[in-house]
Amino acid sequence: MDEDLKKLTGIVRDLFDEYEGPVTRALSARDVEQWDSLANVQFVVLVEQAFGVRFTSDQVGKFQNVGELLDAVAAKRSAKP
């Protein structure tokens, strides 16, 4: 497992504590009962804090799955001077 996915898995396990399935890039809100729109905001902000990035307000509600979120983290990091 790559390091970013490993770090994000810790957030998923802590925030969505009833979900016991695998955390892969394909994981989405459809798979996790606790992952509703309000929890999504908290999830994305925890990811921002863990990875030291900041998404736009528009981006926050539009990630389709964990893979898209990790790709956006990578894009933000590579855009940093």
* Contact set with other proteins (CB under 8 A): 15, 17, 33-34, 36-38, 41-42, 45, 48, 57, 60-61
State which residue, 3 or 17, has the beta carbon closest to other proteins.
17
Quick check: 48 and 55 in contact, CB under 8 A?
A: yes
66-79 and 3-15 are packed helices; what angle lies between their axes, rounded to 10 degrees?
130
Question: Which CB, 52 or 61, lies closer to other proteins?
Answer: 61
User: Cβ of residue 81: shortest distance to other proteins, in angstroms?
Assistant: 22
In angstroms, how far apart are the furthest CA atoms of the chain? 39
